[in-house]
Chain A
Amino acid sequence: MYRYTEFDQRMVDERVAQYRDQVARYLRGELTDDEFRPLRLRNGLYLQRHAPMLRLAIPYGLLSARQMRMLAHVARTWDRGYGHFTTRQNIQFNWPRLEDSPDILQALATVEMHAIQTSGNAVRNITTDPLAGVAPDEQVDPRPYCELLRQWSTFHPEFSYLPRKFKIALTGARDVDRAATAMHDIGLYLKRDGAGAVVVDVLAGGGMGRTPVVGTIIRRDLPWQHVLSYCEAILRLYNRYGRRDNLFKARIKILVRALGVEQFTREVDTEFAQLEGGAATATEAELARIAAGFEAPPYRDLPADSQELREQLATHPGFARWHARNVSAHRVPGYAAVTLSLKRSGTAPGDLDADRMDAVADLAERFSFAELRVTHEQNLVLADVAQSELFALWNELRALGLATPNIGLLTDIVCCPGGDFCSLANAKSLPIAQAIQERFDDADYVDDLGDLTLNMSGCINSCGHHHVGNIGILGVDKKGAEFYQITLGGDVGPDPASTRVGSVIGPSFSAEQVPSVIAAILDQYVGLRQPEERFVETLTRVGLAPFKTAAYTIPGVAPAESESLEHA
């Protein structure tokens, strides 16, 4: 992975010093709460229910074993021994003290980590495909471009006080979008043109939140050298004309809608014409310098097909089940990418304790060239495991409780920390996730349901990405009580055209009702599906109506409230 130069290290060290001084001035009363808020937020520090929450950046989800051990150290020393991996490939600690936060950041800086722009109205952590560099369907390895953008967006002086947060995702895969690229403020689709040169399709105006929007591609086949200038054009337009009068209408998607895509695109192109070929044009030399950090690890020469693996799969059904769900194909013969499930029943989705962080770091060193990735579904990936070692790895992961064979299944629930921790939340999310996992503890049934995403957010900020879950659950507050609204049909496809926001099925439910409602919806699916038909495919074919009927006619379950279907 990319390693810091002295230049990069000094930047992070100076940030720690700056932040330490800001905290000291705040504690001395020289900064008001309102003045300190954006300063601490752009260092990832929220003040919330029980204690501050500190969100650390894991740039594009890439983590070394050494860095993972530092996260364990942070969890033990300054938190309660665990951390929470987020849908933006970051990690959050829920119990640090404000006074300790400069020390935490200083410790992190020793392993080339930081919390820069993990919150606040600035460009956030760049996210990408967790299988970058190893996926067989990859056209372009997005990691060097991610780092190019990370550096460009770090402390960008013009774009540090935007109307609202700004999220950029990249993907270089052809068949599957593992970064939900179309749901970002800017999405960059890397591909190769006829001559083999890297070009970019630029999407703008996607986002979740109160008004979920699938973004629109506004520029096709942009030569990669122009990607920074083009992003600058978009951000300048947004910084100058995005709404600042209403928090809920401040994202770029609202500006795109207000101007119309054609007008927005024209204005971006007019601005880009001024910047094209200018100082921000990226150079081959710089890309090569960065890309050197992402050179392939020293793979061994292995047979594509391991006889040993085949025998192990034949004799160990549990291993075979795990292999079918948690192991992905690799572009290098004899290797595989392994997803470690952080979705064990009884544990909050995405949570990992310090001992397991250390253990996972050990496994990364032993099996996968000392590197890990965080997925936006809140799992971890060991991206470079020899097929002949999968069985040994599985045994280690089983002992740690990280081998739940549920990747991409119902119980691989994506979930924000919700009302138990977050002061923004309207409702708890973790107990609902747990109740669903307990209700669906029959692994054969869940396996039979097949590919199905269930996403839950504790409020409309949508950190749990419920809008794009095949089944989405949103916590809502109704006169001080917690209710849950269900959406169906959200889906992340390989491109914007096949990415969909789910539809609300009707009045919301109480916490106790949610598992039964999900069960009724799934029973309906099992009754209606055709062979090999995924949940969303059945839904597309038959429409929402049968699922609504199932959800609202469960014996003994009346909707918790009555209201129009159109409410938001």
Chain B
Amino acid sequence: MPERRIIRLLDGRARIVEDAWTLFEDGAAWSGEASALIPLATALAQRERLPAAAPAGVWLSPTDEPAQAVALFGAIELIAVQFPVFGDGRGYSTAALLRNRHGWRGELRAIGDVLRDQLFFMKRVGFDSFALRADRNIEEAVASLSDFTDSYQGSVDPALPAFRRIDPASRRLS
């Protein structure tokens, strides 16, 4: 998808940027092009071609095991997690595991049925880029990343629950 714009979090600030990655759907033939976002299975099967295709990226479906991506970390710059429909919440766990358990520090992107009312949760589980569904207003959507000032529970951003971050004294009974 050329000429597409995405939302990226850079130093915690949301920006709308041009995106140069090309998404290869399941079954689409990948012949070693660079800046390609390819299915996890394709990347695992053709791992030796990744260095020549830099920058390389993989995307995970809801049923892909994030642990399998770990072997590719050194050869890729982007991991995307696919949301086939916005109500399918498996991708939130995939993201949280990639960040907190497997230590992925690179760009983590939500793709598929990505809508503004889910952006805040996506940010919290570690996504830092968002390919909003193409028919939606990307400028307006950015506002939803800050629907809430803070959170109770830990996840990825922030990792700690409020009770470990905020002095109980400042959370006194009102």
Q: B-contacting residues of A (Cβ < 8 Å)?
A: 3-7, 9-11, 14-15, 17-18, 22, 31, 35, 38-39, 121, 151-163, 228, 236, 239-240, 244, 274, 279-280, 282-283, 285-286, 289, 292-293
CA–CA, A17 to B144, complex, Å? 11
Which B135-170 residues have C-beta < 8 A from chain A?
144, 147-155, 159-164, 166, 168
| Most chain A CB within a 10 A radius of its CB, from B122, B152, B174 | B152
Among the 9-residue stretches B25-33, B43-51, B83-91, the one with 4 or more Cβ atoms under 8 Å from chain A is B83-91
Q: Is B78 an interface residue (CB 8 A)?
A: no
Q: A-contacting residues of B (Cβ < 8 Å)?
A: 86-90, 92-94, 96, 101, 115, 117-118, 120-122, 124-125, 144, 147-155, 159-164, 166, 168, 171-174
A5, A155, A159, A283: which contacts B151 (Cβ < 8 A)? A155
- Whether B152 and A11, one on each chain, are in contact in the complex, defined by CB atoms closer than 8 angstroms, is yes
Nearest to B152 among chain A residues (CB) is A151
CA–CA, A513 to B90, complex, Å? 47
- Whether B164 and A161, one on each chain, are in contact in the complex, defined by CB atoms closer than 8 angstroms, is no
Which 10 pairs from chain A and chain B are nearest by CB?
Answer: A161-B89, A157-B124, A286-B163, A157-B121, A151-B152, A5-B171, A279-B154, A158-B92, A18-B147, A3-B173
Nearest to B92 among chain A residues (CB) is A158
CA–CA, A172 to B173, complex, Å? 25
- Whether A4 and B152, one on each chain, are in contact in the complex, defined by CB atoms closer than 8 angstroms, is no
- Whether B147 and A158, one on each chain, are in contact in the complex, defined by CB atoms closer than 8 angstroms, is no
- Whether B89 and A156, one on each chain, are in contact in the complex, defined by CB atoms closer than 8 angstroms, is no
- Whether B150 and A10, one on each chain, are in contact in the complex, defined by CB atoms closer than 8 angstroms, is yes
Contacts of A152 in B (CB 8 A): 152-153, 161
CA–CA, A240 to B101, complex, Å? 15
CA–CA, A289 to B171, complex, Å? 9
The majority secondary structure among interface residues of chain A is helix
Contacts of A31 in B (CB 8 A): 117
- Whether B89 and A162, one on each chain, are in contact in the complex, defined by CB atoms closer than 8 angstroms, is yes
- Whether B117 and A22, one on each chain, are in contact in the complex, defined by CB atoms closer than 8 angstroms, is yes
A9, A228, A286: which contacts B168 (Cβ < 8 A)? A286
On whether A38 and B87 interact (CB within 8 A), knowing A3-B173, A158-B96, A289-B171, the answer reads yes
Contacts of A7 in B (CB 8 A): 150, 162, 166, 171
Whole-angstrom distance from the CB of A34 to the nearest CB of chain B? Answer: 9
CA–CA, A151 to B153, complex, Å? 7
Contacts of A279 in B (CB 8 A): 154, 159-161, 164
On whether A239 and B93 interact (CB within 8 A), knowing A5-B173, A158-B125, the answer reads yes
A154, A158, A162, A274: which contacts B152 (Cβ < 8 A)? A154
Sample of 18 further A-B pairs with CB below 8 A, known A39-B117, A292-B173 = A3-B173, A3-B174, A7-B166, A10-B150, A11-B148, A14-B148, A15-B148, A31-B117, A35-B115, A38-B87, A151-B153, A151-B162, A155-B151, A158-B121, A163-B89, A279-B160, A285-B163, A286-B168
Nearest to B171 among chain A residues (CB) is A5
Q: Can you report 30 A-B residue pairs in the complex whose CB atoms are below 8 A from each other?
A: A4-B174, A5-B171, A5-B173, A6-B171, A9-B174, A11-B150, A14-B149, A17-B147, A18-B144, A35-B117, A39-B117, A121-B89, A151-B152, A151-B162, A152-B152, A155-B121, A155-B151, A156-B153, A157-B122, A157-B125, A158-B121, A159-B92, A160-B121, A239-B89, A239-B92, A244-B90, A279-B160, A280-B153, A283-B164, A289-B171
CA–CA, A162 to B87, complex, Å? 8
- Whether B153 and A289, one on each chain, are in contact in the complex, defined by CB atoms closer than 8 angstroms, is no
Contacts of B94 in A (CB 8 A): 240
Nearest to B159 among chain A residues (CB) is A279
Nearest to A235 among chain B residues (CB) is B93
CA–CA, A292 to B151, complex, Å? 22
Contacts of A9 in B (CB 8 A): 174
Contacts of A163 in B (CB 8 A): 89
CA–CA, A280 to B96, complex, Å? 14
Contacts of B152 in A (CB 8 A): 11, 151-152, 154-155
A5, A158, A286: which contacts B93 (Cβ < 8 A)? A158
- Whether A283 and B163, one on each chain, are in contact in the complex, defined by CB atoms closer than 8 angstroms, is yes
| Most chain B CB within a 10 A radius of its CB, from A152, A156, A282 | A156
CA–CA, A155 to B162, complex, Å? 13
On whether A239 and B90 interact (CB within 8 A), knowing A7-B150, A14-B148, A160-B121, the answer reads yes
- Whether A159 and B89, one on each chain, are in contact in the complex, defined by CB atoms closer than 8 angstroms, is yes
CA–CA, A17 to B86, complex, Å? 22
Nearest to A289 among chain B residues (CB) is B168
CA–CA, A15 to B144, complex, Å? 12
